[in-house]
Amino acid sequence: MEDKDLHFMHIALEEACAAAGRDEVPIGAVLAGPDGTVIARNGNRTRELSDPSAHAEMLCIREGCAKAGAQRIPDCDLYITLEPCTMCAAAISFARVRRLVIGAPDPKGGGVLHGGRFYEQPTCHHKPEVVCLEMPECGKVLKDFFSA
Amino acid sequence: MEDKDLHFMHIALEEACAAAGRDEVPIGAVLAGPDGTVIARNGNRTRELSDPSAHAEMLCIREGCAKAGAQRIPDCDLYITLEPCTMCAAAISFARVRRLVIGAPDPKGGGVLHGGRFYEQPTCHHKPEVVCLEMPECGKVLKDFFSA
């Protein structure tokens, strides 16, 4: 873990809580640049946008790439409150994200530490550095949402 | 294989060729509705849009879901000239696409018949019917592009 990790993960948690307020699955993400600035921050918007791919981290990657005018953002780090699904794990790899910081593991739908473990496959051509913080708050916002 | 499959795959091939003309990786896709209409058709636009997720089939899913005003399009079939990558395989599952018709397998980057084989994972919650046509034209447009 790096010093800045908790700082960015708390911003991602704010986005997760904001998503819950929109009745979206409360997952949040932050894309951070090499100088420690927030390039993009978002929460899930699959309902709002009628887009099953509008996961928090996918929206951040798309915004970050659009701002960079490039398909690849190799100097950026991504913070996500929950382990990315298989779709987002692959998008993160395609974008050449440098470092992926996960708030909590997702045994049910994760694609990095679970399921197809995309970064361990021969069909994966870039593996980011992966750190899992195991922060109870990141799972709690989801549990509270689904029990409500 | 169903009678309509070659019809839709040839439209997808037109989109692949159009993508090559834009200097994009020549993969094309068609989203077909239950009445046999084309709901969306597109080719890769990752360069044009500076979006690593702008694969042909992802663009079709986004357009189809936006038109339906829903995250799920369970009465739609998707035709793709090349086996979807892991990212798109998962997006297809999330959108609850009924049937997935593949023009050619992709041992290097595919995520359905290769790599993490998402539809075989316990983290996959909807598996479409999958058909691979093994059409040489679908691979040839890619080989020609990368050898040029």
Q: What pLDDT digit, counting tens, does each position of A89-130 carry?
A: 999 999 999 999 999 999 999 999 999 999 999 999 999 999
Catalytic residues of B: 57
Give the three-class secondary structure for A120.
helix
Q: Is B80 on the interface with A (CB under 8 A)?
A: no
Q: How many CA atoms lie within 13 A of B114 on its CB side?
A: 17
Measured between beta carbons, the chain A residues lying within 8 angstroms of B109 are: 123, 125
How much is the average pLDDT of A43-55? 98
Which among A71, A86, A110 has the least Cβ separation from residue B86? A86
Whether pLDDT at B107 is above 90? yes
What pLDDT does B3 receive? 82
With residues binned 3-state (H G I as helix, E B as strand, rest as coil), the percentages for chain A, rounded to 5, are 40, 15, 45
Identify the closest residue of chain B to A49 by CA–CA distance: B66
Cβ–Cβ gap B111/A70 under 8 Å: no
B99 exposure class (CB count in 10 Å sphere: 0-12, 13-18, 19+): middle
Which of A86, A97, A121 is the best substitution to test chain B (most B C-beta atoms within 10 A)? A86
Write out pLDDT tens, residues B14-67: 999 999 999 999 999 999 999 999 999 999 999 999 999 999 999 999 999 999
Does ipTM come in above 0.90? yes
Interchain proximity B91–A124, CB inside 8 Å = no
B 36-65 residues with CB < 8 A to A: 46-47, 49-53, 58, 61-62, 65
- CB-nearest to B69 from A50, A91, A108 is A50
Whole-number mean pLDDT of chain A? Answer: 97
Q: How far apart are CA A23 and CA A17, in angstroms?
A: 10
Whether the predicted pLDDT of A1 surpasses 90: no
SS3 at position A51? coil
A2, A57, A63, A83: which one is catalytic?
A57
In this prediction the pTM is 0.97
Asked if the Cβ–Cβ distance from B51 to A58 is below 8 Å, we say no
Q: How far apart are CA B13 and CA A48, in angstroms?
A: 32
A24 part of the active site: no
Interchain pair B50, A61: CB under 8 A: no
